[in-house]
């Protein structure tokens, strides 16, 4: 019986020691993920002093890939320039009801999607570039992104955005893309 008590006491100290050593990593994990996602049903919302708006969303389904859609997204960030820079980085992606995430394309294919679906005069600024290069007068800073998503999720897509310093808080906005016909 005495031996069982020593074993139990050893296990308690082992668990306490493990928690003590792992505590900084557990805190970092908590702050490294978007736990508090604010779902907004309108086209804009506020996160850490910055108003994020979905300006345009267009989608193109190519005949060669009928199960995939190329999506163009133009959004704006507006607020105090220092608050925008304080985010340190943009973390954005498209999500669906099942929790799947699609990240922006940052390659030549993404640029081709932006050229094909974007407007004349669109800048190629990513979210980070528009955040850093925010106009000093407080006017919106525009950002364009391209995504490749499955066609069956187009009705349920949401833009989830956060910054490195806004975590664990994030913002989720609905995306309602307009279908564009393939180039003919």
- Beta-carbon-side half-sphere exposure of residue 41 (alpha carbons within 13 Å): 0
pLDDT of residue 105 exceeding 90, the answer is: yes
pLDDT of residue 29 exceeding 70, the answer is: no
The residue that leads in pLDDT, 129 or 97, is 97
Mean pLDDT throughout 45-72?
A: 92
In the numeric block, which tokens belong to residue 134? 């925010």
Provide the percentage of residues in the chain whose pLDDT is more than 90.
38
| Confidence label for 33 from pLDDT (cuts 50, 70 and 90) | low
């Amino acid at each position: 019986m005495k031996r069982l008590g020593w074993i139990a006491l050893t296990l308690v100290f082992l668990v306490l020691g493990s928690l003590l050593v792992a505590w900084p990593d557990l805190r970092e994990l908590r702050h490294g993920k978007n736990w508090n996602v604010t779902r907004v049903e309108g086209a804009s919302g506020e996160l850490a002093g910055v108003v994020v708006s979905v300006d345009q969303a267009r989608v193109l389904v190519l005949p060669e890939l009928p199960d995939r859609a190329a999506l163009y997204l133009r959004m704006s960030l507006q607020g105090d320039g220092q608050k925008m820079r304080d985010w340190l980085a943009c973390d954005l992606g498209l999500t669906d009801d099942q929790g799947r995430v699609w990240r922006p394309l940052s390659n030549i294919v993404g640029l081709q999607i932006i050229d094909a679906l974007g407007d004349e005069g669109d800048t190629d600024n990513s979210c980070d570039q528009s955040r850093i290069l925010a106009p000093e007068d407080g006017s919106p800073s525009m950002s364009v992104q391209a995504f490749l998503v499955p066609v069956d999720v187009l009705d349920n897509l949401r833009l989830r955005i956060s910054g490195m310093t806004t975590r664990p808080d994030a913002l989720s906005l609905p995306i309602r893309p307009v279908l564009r016909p393939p180039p003919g």
